[in-house]
């Protein structure tokens, strides 16, 4: 039986009350993420009514002569419930069962929104740019009876007699599948979230954890397959949409969580505090470890009981020295803020960007020559006696 490393009795993390000014700074550290989510979501909905490119097609092409399905197996309302509502409802439950962290709830919600927004906007841009006909385009187009392709050419959409503009416009948005990309973006993020909480890559090889973590991917695959059953997409559209959704899901997950192979994969990243002094008054703890004597933190108890190691060590590689981070989070790796990275031209540049005086280099001092020891005048060497001559 697989032992899931959950600690259901873990109390909720409590910290020191924050002042309104510091709370405002903390919230505004995620303002770029919120703005990006709003802009991409608005782009997704606004592009739905844009007249995109429409490729020519052949009336004799059997791959686009399938019937138009009025009732879809997974309509847009069901897709919204599966790809958006379901992850939003399941992740807080997992949070309560495992880490019980407000920051985990915040990061998971923001990561899911970002992944869906990026996927939706990118999908819409590609759809209206490529303009590939759907497998049911001839049924949507309703060309005049007896019409044939022009000699040495293909037919365009102007021969269509379809009166519903939306049905005809949507018929040229086959590549790639939006249902596939969005379902894999939402449920894929949930799958990565589960994998991180279960420590799927902890080198123990539990098949039960793998099946549980991959179950959202299976649900997303069923949604993608239904698009070929309704003749809404070609198999290439479904395949590419699934890959794109999974890629953006992992991209958004890694913005807020460490790698799945990390010993602290169950914890979210710390908030983006711009300055070190912003940590004052926040619920913090100190990870003060010697990089030469402290070994990397392990996420599980060394006794092998499958429980989390709840020590104060949040170091990913044992090299943390006076790392101040919020309770239940992992310090963000990397060189730090982009402003400091851009200005870093020498060893003193990061200090100058923070308003600190530059440290002048120490003058070179050559090593002192070893003193030559003079012989002791009172010392008399003892000479060995000469060998005796034989008789």
Q: Is the pLDDT of residue 288 over 90?
A: no
pLDDT at 297: 41
Q: DSSP character for 50?
A: S
Which candidate in 199, 233, 234, 289 is catalytic?
233
Alpha-carbon distances of 31 from 24, 154, 257, rounded to whole Å: 11, 50, 18
Mean pLDDT, the chain, whole residue set: 79
Residue 269 forms beta bridges with which residues?
Answer: 330
Catalytic annotation present for 233: yes
Domain locations in the chain? 52-254, 276-297+307-332
CB-based contact 57:137 (threshold 8 Å):
yes
Strands (DSSP E) contained in 252-291 are 284-288
CB-based contact 15:279 (threshold 8 Å):
no
What's the average model confidence in pLDDT over 168-189? Answer: 97
- pTM of the predicted protein model: 0.73
pLDDT tier at 29 (50, 70, 90 boundaries)?
Answer: confident
| Digit-coded pLDDT (tens) for 329-343 | 887 776 666 666 667
| Digit-coded pLDDT (tens) for 116-165 | 999 999 999 999 999 999 999 999 999 999 899 999 999 999 999 999 99
Catalytic annotation present for 234: no
pLDDT tier at 63 (50, 70, 90 boundaries)?
Answer: very high
Can you read off the two tokens belonging to residue 327? 């309770």
Q: Is the pLDDT of residue 348 over 70?
A: no
Q: Which of 42-46, 224-228, 337-341, 348-352 has the lowest mean pLDDT?
A: 348-352
- How far, in Å, CA of 121 to CA of 11, rounded? 40
What's the average model confidence in pLDDT over 349-372? Answer: 54
pLDDT at 367: 62
Which candidate in 38, 71, 166, 179 is catalytic?
179
Q: Which of 156-160, 310-314, 360-364 has the lowest mean pLDDT?
A: 310-314
Of all residues in the chain, the percent with pLDDT exceeding 90 is 54
């Amino acid at each position: 039986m697989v032992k899931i490393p959950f600690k259901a009795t873990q109390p909720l993390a409590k910290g020191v009350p924050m002042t309104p000014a510091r709370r405002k700074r903390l919230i505004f550290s995620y303002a770029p993420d919120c703005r990006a989510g709003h802009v991409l979501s608005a782009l997704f909905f606004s592009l739905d009514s844009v007249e995109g490119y429409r490729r020519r097609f052949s009336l004799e092409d059997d791959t686009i002569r399938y019937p138009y399905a009025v009732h879809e197996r997974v309509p847009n309302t069901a897709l919204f419930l599966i790809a958006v509502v379901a992850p939003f409802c399941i992740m807080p439950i997992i949070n309560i069962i495992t880490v019980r962290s407000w920051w985990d709830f915040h990061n998971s919600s923001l990561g899911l929104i970002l992944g869906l927004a990026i996927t939706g906007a990118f999908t819409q841009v590609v759809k209206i740019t490529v303009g590939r006909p759907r497998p049911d385009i001839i049924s949507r187009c309703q060309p005049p009876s007896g019409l044939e392709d022009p000699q040495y050419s293909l037919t365009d959409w102007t021969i269509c007699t379809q009166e519903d503009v939306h049905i005809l416009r949507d018929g040229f948005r086959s590549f790639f599948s939006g249902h596939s990309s969005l379902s894999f973006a939402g449920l894929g993020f949930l799958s990565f979230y589960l994998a991180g909480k279960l420590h799927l890559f902890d080198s123990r090889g539990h098949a039960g954890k793998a099946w549980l973590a991959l179950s959202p991917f299976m649900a997303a695959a069923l949604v993608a397959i239904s698009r070929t059953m309704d003749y809404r997409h070609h198999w290439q559209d479904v395949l590419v949409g699934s890959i794109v959704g999974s890629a953006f899901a992992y991209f958004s997950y890694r913005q807020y969580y460490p790698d799945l192979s990390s010993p602290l994969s169950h914890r979210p990243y710390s908030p983006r505090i711009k300055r070190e002094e912003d940590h004052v008054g926040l619920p913090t703890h100190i990870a003060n470890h010697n990089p030469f004597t402290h070994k990397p933190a392990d996420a599980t108890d060394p006794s092998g009981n499958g429980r989390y190691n709840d020590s104060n060590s949040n170091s990913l590689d044992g090299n943390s020295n006076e790392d101040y981070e919020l309770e239940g989070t992992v310090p963000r790796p990397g060189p730090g803020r982009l402003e400091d990275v851009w200005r870093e031209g020498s060893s003193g540049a990061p200090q100058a960007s923070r308003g600190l005086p530059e440290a002048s280099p120490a003058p070179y001092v050559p090593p002192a020559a070893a003193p030559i020891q003079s012989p002791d005048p009172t010392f008399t060497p003892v000479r060995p006696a000469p060998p005796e001559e034989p008789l």
